[in-house]
A = this chain, B = another copy of it.
Amino acid sequence: MKMLINVPETVVADALRGMAAAHPELTVDVENRVIVRQDAPVAGKVALVSGGGSGHEPLHGGFVGPGMLSAACPGEVFTSPVPDQMVRAAAAVDSGAGVLFIVKNYTGDVLNFDMAAELAEDEGIQVAKVLVNDDVAVTDSLYTAGRRGTGATLFVEKIAGAAAEEGQPLARVEALARQVNEGSRSFGVALSACSTPSKGSPTFDLPAGELELGVGIHGEPGRERRPMMTSGEIADFAVQAILDDLTPRNPVVVLVNGMGATPLLELYGFNAEVQRVLAQRGVVVAHTLVGNYVTSLDMAGASVTLCEVDEELLRLWNAPVRTAGLRWGV
């Protein structure tokens, strides 16, 4: 598999250098692998720190900025960042109002963020944590005990980030993050495998003419393989899987997310089918986002995330945000 890289060993560092050049509004510590909003720490404001393996861009570094994350820690490709990065990030952004760690549910991330929380607390930083585990496809998986964290991460980071930006206290920001996660569900499909730079070839085999229903964002196996389906059939399956597990009483925000290699033309077409199924099921849509937000390197495919929002969550969702990957209202 050909890649636009120098050597696998420098992929993450190279990307951070390129991000620093494109985004002078961020402080990018290439050596220590921490991306921080430039005005941090913001006096009196709760700070939000997330991170995870690289290869899911714009998640998480692309979501650092006013109204969303205070800092992000990128690990090696598909590998958790280390506790040192997280502690360094927390120290850089804590104003004394405390730090919320937003952790996708993968074993390495959970262990490392747990350790980082202890270390940060030893340094006098107040830390709360929220675990994101929205993927309904499978219960346990290659990298996970329990449900995997995927698209809901964007909703947690955006909505909790807006609350923090308004000056809400740590306990409230944490409670909102938890509420967002509890009201969110995702389901993804792969049309092709992805290739990591270190392996240089597809991480799994997906035969021509088949798709993987319920794939994880690292290419982990999903529920089943089937002969290729139409966009409409995939939307039926994915939304059904979500609504088997979530009965929204409020409107939802919809994320139709590309895995990386699926053209935007196809993602918009898929969104038309997702909206059709939601309308048929009587689900009210408050807002829809279509694009590549939580990617899996060069995987072809898409995921759907629904996030149930009450008036307060919708207000926070719509609040201004200014990051590399998500921007409105400013």
Q: B residues within 8 A CB of A231?
A: 4-6, 14
Q: B residues within 8 A CB of A329?
A: 330
The reply to whether B4 and A266 form a contact with Cβ atoms under 8 Å apart is: yes
Q: B residues within 8 A CB of A4?
A: 191, 231, 234, 262, 266-267, 269-270, 300-302
The reply to whether B18 and A297 form a contact with Cβ atoms under 8 Å apart is: no
Q: B residues within 8 A CB of A10?
A: 269
**Whose C-beta in chain B lies nearest to the C-beta of A55?**
B265
The reply to whether B191 and A265 form a contact with Cβ atoms under 8 Å apart is: no
A262-306 at interface with B (beta carbon < 8 Å): 262-273, 275, 285, 288-290, 292, 295, 297-298, 300-302
The reply to whether A261 and B298 form a contact with Cβ atoms under 8 Å apart is: yes
**Whose C-beta in chain B lies nearest to the C-beta of A232?**
B6
The reply to whether A266 and B191 form a contact with Cβ atoms under 8 Å apart is: no
Q: Does A21 contact B (CB under 8 A)?
A: yes
Q: B residues within 8 A CB of A232?
A: 6
Q: Contacting A57 at CB < 8 Å: which of B62, B256, B265?
A: B265
Instruction: Kindly state the interface size class of chain A when it binds its partner.
Output: 35 or more
The reply to whether B298 and A262 form a contact with Cβ atoms under 8 Å apart is: yes
Q: B residues within 8 A CB of A209?
A: 2
Q: Does A192 contact B (CB under 8 A)?
A: yes
9 A-B pairs besides A2-B209, A6-B230, A62-B264 with CB distance below 8 A are A4-B191, A11-B266, A12-B265, A18-B271, A19-B290, A22-B256, A22-B271, A264-B295, A292-B292
Q: B residues within 8 A CB of A234?
A: 4
